[in-house]
Structure 1
Amino acid sequence: MSWHTKRMAAFDLETTAADPEAARIVTACIVQVGGGQPPQPATWVADPGVEIPDEAAKIHGYTTERARKEGAPAAQVVEEIAAALGQALSHGIPIVAMNARYDLTVLDRECRRHSIPTLLDRYVDPVIWPVIDPFVIDKHVDRYRRGSRTLTALCEHYEVKLDGAHDSAADAIAAARVAWRLGATRPELAAMGIEELHHAQIEWARTQAEGLRAYFAKTPGKQHLAAGVRGEWPLVPHQAEAGGL
């Protein structure tokens, strides 16, 4: 039974910013799917405690006022998300996240911001975390395909349903569908054990980052972006722990 036919915990965040070091969680979803069992969704809305920029609100639909009215305190939401992911990991259920480096880094920084145990605190060795990242896998198996690699683009390419982009629940489920499709259509992926796939993604993500960094470095007007490209995966280490992954 291949990893793509087993239970998966699809995870997605909508936030206040593109920079994971500064982003605050606004909405989140973890939905367990697959494995011959019914879906088990959990969703959250948080009051991030900061102003939500207009450009972010236009993407996910939550203004500062709406988040304050509908959201739970940020610390409560962060604790519940970390606990839910930790429970999945403790049962060997892989986390599926599109561009996992972003979402897991945001969660890590939010935990630290609110003095909440991180996933690193709860599960010390991230090298053995089972994480499935459709973004990294797709770029590896089809590296020369032109065009966008957003979740919407991947859903179109792999012919899977996306119920509503930039909604955390819809995006989480769509990422799981793309992951399933990758496993179902790529025998070389289906043949890999989940730990083997996880370790492979660490190397694939590093190689992809090196290529992007080199591209920025040689492209006029984009050289300044090269320094910001990070190759660590599935999350960027906190500055105090750099080198620990």
Structure 2
Amino acid sequence: MNSWHELPHAAFDLETTGRDPHTARIVTASIILVDGQGEVRQHHEWLAAVEEDIPEEAAAIHGVSTEHARAAGRPAAEVTAEIAGVLGGMFAAGIPVLAFNASYDFTVLNRECERFGLNAPIPSPVIDPYILDKQVDKYRRGKRTLTALTEHYGVGFENAHTSAADVMATIGVARAMAGKFPVLHGDAGFLHQAQIGWASAQAASFQDYLRRKDPEAVVDGTWPARA
């Protein structure tokens, strides 16, 4: 049986208005499907005409201003529906979707679907290089951002914090990790289930660390989307 990285797989990324996935609104989105050799087979891009102003801090990261989004973007409800539809079709076909720090992106999408009365896709199978890296290389020092992982695994990365660039970087990192760590080979569905437990354990460990200084600290380990 071929491993997930030798079969078609996709990646998904959002750029948004803020850090809190329960309140952030979608600004741009990308979904890219590749074959087992990593060659692009589908490329989807969206720009939403956001209903709320994009904070300067967020615009400085992804480069999209409120004015540009409203002038060039499409209605947010239409964008959200199309994103949900593309992802839902991939999940229904058993195609794994990669997402770096998946619990953020899928939570944002779920909240947007709720706002517009849409059915959010059930995210499975999902593969999250952020969770995988912390599992297979637990004691490595340094940051574990997408940029840091591209440097560590030797993956080219230009135009960081644009959704399309982040998607391609996510694919590159995940494929590099699969090439290095045989434990990550196999069926995407089994790997999805393993990540649920890994994410929970990683969050509990980080929460214990934070509680050395703040006894009330809480880290949500729900994955791949928060309730």
TM-score range, shorter chain: over 0.9
TM-score normalised by the chain length of structure 1: 0.89
AA partner of residue 68 (structure 1): R
In the TM superposition, what is the alpha-carbon distance from 1:223 to its structure 2 partner?
A: 5.1
In the TM superposition, what is the alpha-carbon distance from 1:35 to its structure 2 partner?
A: 2.3
Task: Name the count of aligned residue pairs.
Answer: 225
Alignment of 1:222-233 (within 5 A): 226-227=217-218, 229-233=219-223
In the TM superposition, what is the alpha-carbon distance from 1:34 to its structure 2 partner?
A: 2.3
- The answer to whether structure 1 residue 211 and structure 2 residue 205 are counterparts is yes
Partner SS state of residue 17, structure 1 = coil
TM-score normalised by the chain length of structure 2: 0.96
Alignment partner, residue 131 of structure 1: 126
Output one character per residue of 1:166-202: Cα deviation in whole Å (capped at 9) or x when no partner.
0000001110111111111111212x32111111100
Q: Which runs of 4+ in 1 moved over 4 A?
A: none
Among residues 129, 144, 150, which one is paired with 1:155 in the alignment? 150
Alignment partner, residue 98 of structure 2: 96
Q: Percent identity?
A: 50
AA partner of residue 20 (structure 1): P
CA distance in 1, matches of 2:139, 2:31: 31
State the superposition RMSD in angstroms: 1.2
Note the residue ranges of structure 2 that are not aligned, 5 or more in a row.
none
Partner SS state of residue 20, structure 2 = coil
CA distance in 2, matches of 1:204, 1:77: 32
Alignment partner, residue 54 of structure 2: 52
Note the residue ranges of structure 1 that are not aligned, 5 or more in a row.
121-125, 238-245
- The answer to whether structure 1 residue 235 and structure 2 residue 225 are counterparts is yes
**Is the CA contact (8 Å cut-off) linking 2:97 and 2:127 kept in structure 1?**
yes
**Is the CA contact (8 Å cut-off) linking 2:32 and 2:40 kept in structure 1?**
no
Alignment of 1:155-234 (within 5 A): 155-190=150-185, 192-219=186-213, 226-227=217-218, 229-234=219-224
Partner SS state of residue 233, structure 1 = coil
Alignment partner, residue 123 of structure 1: none
Alignment partner, residue 243 of structure 1: none
Alignment partner, residue 41 of structure 1: 43
